[in-house]
Structure 1
Amino acid sequence: MSMVANLLYEKRFGPYYTEPVIAGLDPKTFQPFICSLDLIGCPMVTDDFVVSGTCAEQMYGMCESLWEPDMDPEHLFETISQAMLNAVDRDAVSGMGVVVHVM
C-alpha cells in the first residue's frame, strides 16, 4: 500500500486519475486486508468494504444497507452485484457492465 500511496502523492499536482483498491492478506497476521486510496494517495483502511470510482457516493448507501458480517460466497456475490448494478444505473459516467469475482 505504501508504494502505491507514495506514487500517487508524488504526482499530486498532475495526478493519475485512479482510485486503486488494494486487497490481500496482512503478511504478519494473515488476516484479510482491504483499503482504497484517493487521487493523491491518502489511504482509507477498513474492516468491511471499500467503494471507489465515479459512482462511489451511490454505492456507499447501498453497500451499508446490504452488507453483513460473515456472508457466505453466494450472498456476498448477490450483494456486490446488486450494489454495482444499482450504482451504474444511477451514474451515467461510470460505464456499462460489471464483472464480479468472489474468491
Structure 2
Amino acid sequence: MCFHLFYFYFFNCVAIACDLRLGANTFTTVSTKFSKIFKMNNNVYVGLSGLATDIQTLYEILRYRVNLYEVRQDAEMDVECFANMLSSILYSNRFSPYFVNPIVVGFKLKHYVDEEGEKKVNYEPYLTAYDLIGAKCETRDFVVNGVTSEQLFGMCESLYVKDQVKE
C-alpha cells in the first residue's frame, strides 16, 4: 500500500509531495524508492496513492492514452483534458475499480494579447482529486490523499496561507 500524498497551491505555482515507501502491510517495508508522482507532460503531473499494482497498471494506461493523444492531435494534452480522461477511465472501471486515489496537478494555459499587441501565455495552477470511481473534486488551495490524510489535512489547514509566494 502507498500511504500519503499531498499537493499545495501557491500563487502561480504548486508543490507536490509524497512518501517513497512501498509496504506489504503496515509493518513491512518492501522498498523506500517507490514514487507515486508521475510526469505526464510538461504541464501535467498525476499522483496515485493506493494499491501498488493498481498504481502501476493505471499509470501505464494513462501513459499510453497521453502518448496516443499527442500522436493523433500533434499537441500536448492540457491538464483539464487529462483530468476528464482520468475521470472517464476510473468511471468505466467502476464495477471492478482500481484501488487508487488520484490527484492531478498542472497548469492551465491561458493565451492572451497584452496592451502592446504581443501574444502572451499565463499559467494558472490546477488541482483536482478523485475517488476510486472517478468523481472529481477541484480545489484552489490544497489536496491530501491516502491512509494518513486525516493527519495531513490538519497539518495543511494550519500551514496553508492563501496566495502565498513560493519562497
TM-score (norm 2): 0.41
Cα 1:63–1:26 change in 2 (3 A) is same
What is the deviation of 1:73?
3.4
Q: Which has the higher strand share?
A: 2
Specify the SS of the correspondent of 1:16: coil
Q: Distance in 2 between matches of 1:36 and 1:26?
A: 16
Residue identity matched to 1:36: A
Identity %: 42
**Is 1:15 equivalent to 2:108 in the alignment?**
no
Q: Which has the higher helix share?
A: 1
What is the deviation of 1:71?
3.0
Backbone CA RMSD of aligned residues: 1.6
The equivalent residue for 2:153 is 60
Q: Distance in 2 between matches of 1:68 and 1:56?
A: 19
The residue correspondences of 1:38-57 to structure 2 (distance < 5 A) are 38-57=131-150
Specify the SS of the correspondent of 1:13: coil
**Is 1:27 equivalent to 2:109 in the alignment?**
yes
What is the deviation of 1:54?
1.4
Q: Distance in 1 between matches of 2:109 and 2:93?
A: 28
Residue identity matched to 2:159: L
Superimposed CA distance per residue, residues 20-52 of structure 1 (whole angstroms, 9 cap, x where no aligned partner): 111111134631101111101011100011111
Q: Unpaired runs of 5+ in structure 1?
A: 75-103
Identify the structure with bigger relative contact order (alpha carbons < 8 Å, sequence gap 6+).
2
Q: Unpaired runs of 5+ in structure 2?
A: 1-82, 111-121
The equivalent residue for 1:69 is 162
TM-score (norm 1): 0.64
Specify the SS of the correspondent of 2:143: coil
Larger Rg computed on CA atoms: 2
The equivalent residue for 2:49 is none
Residue identity matched to 2:157: E
Q: Which runs of 4+ in 1 moved over 4 A?
A: none
Paired positions, count: 74
